[in-house]
Structure 1
Amino acid sequence: MTVTLADVAARAGVSAATVSRVLNGNYPVAGTTRERVMRAVNDLEYVVNGHARALAAATSDLVGVLVNDVADPFFGILASAAQTEIGRGSEHGGGKLAVVCNTGGSPEAELNYLTLLQRQRAAGVILTGGAVEGTEHTHAVADKLARLAADGTKVVLCGRPPLPPDEFSGEESALENDDAAAVTTLAFDNRGGARRLTEHLLTLGHRRIGYVTGPANRTTTRDRLDGHRSALADGGLAVTADRLTVHGDYSRASGYDATLELLRRDPDLTAVVAANDTIALGACAALRERGMRIPQDVSVAGFDDLPFSIDATPALTTVRLPLHEAGARAGRLVMGLESPPPGGVATVRAELMARASTAPPAFA
Structure 2
Amino acid sequence: MTVTLADVAHRAQVSPATVSRVLNGNYPVAAATRERVLRAVKDLDYVVNGPASALAASTSSLVGILVNDIADPFFGIMASAAQAQISGAEGTPGAIGGEKLAVVCNTGGSPERELTYLTLLQRQRAAAVILTGGAIEDPDHSAAVAAKLARLAEAGTRIVLCGRPPLPPSAGSPVTATLSFDNRAGARRLTGHLLALGHTRIGYVAGPAERTTTRHRLEGHRAALAAAGVADDPARTLHGAFDRASGIAAATRLLDAEPGLTAVVAANDTIALGVCTAARARGLRVPEDLSVAGFDDLPSATDTVPALTTVRLPLIEAGARAGLLAVTRETSHGPDGVETVPAELVVRGSTGAIRGA
Specify if TM > 0.5: yes
CA contact (8 A) 1:181 1:343 kept: no
Q: CA deviation at 1:5?
A: 9.6
Find out whether 1:236 has 2:229 as its counterpart: yes
Q: CA deviation at 1:181?
A: 5.8
Q: Partners in 1 of 2:313 and 2:145 — Cα distance?
A: 25
The equivalent of 2:208 in structure 1 is 215
The equivalent of 1:106 in structure 2 is 110
Q: CA deviation at 1:340?
A: 2.1
Q: CA deviation at 1:94?
A: 3.0
The TM-score with structure 1 as length reference comes to 0.81
Q: Deviations over 1:29-63 (max 9, x none)?
A: xxxxxxxxxxxxxxxxxxxxxxxxx9443111100
Which residue type is aligned with residue 270 of structure 1? T
The equivalent of 2:16 in structure 1 is none
The equivalent of 2:129 in structure 1 is 125
Runs of 4+ displaced beyond 6 Å: none
1:315 alignment partner, SS class: coil
Q: CA deviation at 1:71?
A: 0.9
The equivalent of 1:171 in structure 2 is none
- Gaps in structure 2 of 5+ consecutive residues: 4-53
More displaced 10-residue stretch of structure 1: 89-98 or 106-115: 89-98
1:238 alignment partner, SS class: coil
CA contact (8 A) 2:2 2:151 kept: no
Determine which of 276, 285, 288 is the counterpart of 1:296.
Answer: 288
Q: CA deviation at 1:311?
A: 1.4
Find out whether 1:88 has 2:111 as its counterpart: no
Q: CA deviation at 1:248?
A: 0.6
Find out whether 1:312 has 2:312 as its counterpart: no
Cα gap change, 1:99 to 1:352, in 2 (>3 Å): same
More displaced 10-residue stretch of structure 1: 143-152 or 56-65: 56-65
The equivalent of 2:74 in structure 1 is 74
- Gaps in structure 1 of 5+ consecutive residues: 7-53, 169-176
The equivalent of 2:19 in structure 1 is none
The TM-score with structure 2 as length reference comes to 0.82
Please give the root-mean-square deviation of Cα atoms over the aligned residues, in Å. 1.6
Find out whether 1:269 has 2:261 as its counterpart: yes
Determine which of 184, 187, 194 is the counterpart of 2:180.
Answer: 187
The equivalent of 2:340 in structure 1 is 347
More displaced 10-residue stretch of structure 1: 192-201 or 334-343: 334-343
Q: Partners in 2 of 1:231 and 1:246 — Cα distance?
A: 18
Aligned length: 302
Q: CA deviation at 1:238?
A: 2.7
CA contact (8 A) 1:181 1:344 kept: no
CA contact (8 A) 1:88 1:94 kept: no
Q: CA deviation at 1:134?
A: 1.1
* Aligned pairs for 1:134-213 within 5 A: 134-166=138-170, 168=171, 177=172, 180=173, 182-213=175-206
1:352 alignment partner, SS class: strand
Q: CA deviation at 1:89?
A: 2.5
Which residue type is aligned with residue 197 of structure 2? L
Q: Partners in 1 of 2:2 and 2:87 — Cα distance?
A: 36
Q: CA deviation at 1:337?
A: 5.4
Q: Deviations over 1:120-167 (max 9, x none)?
A: 00000000000000110000000000000000000000001000011x
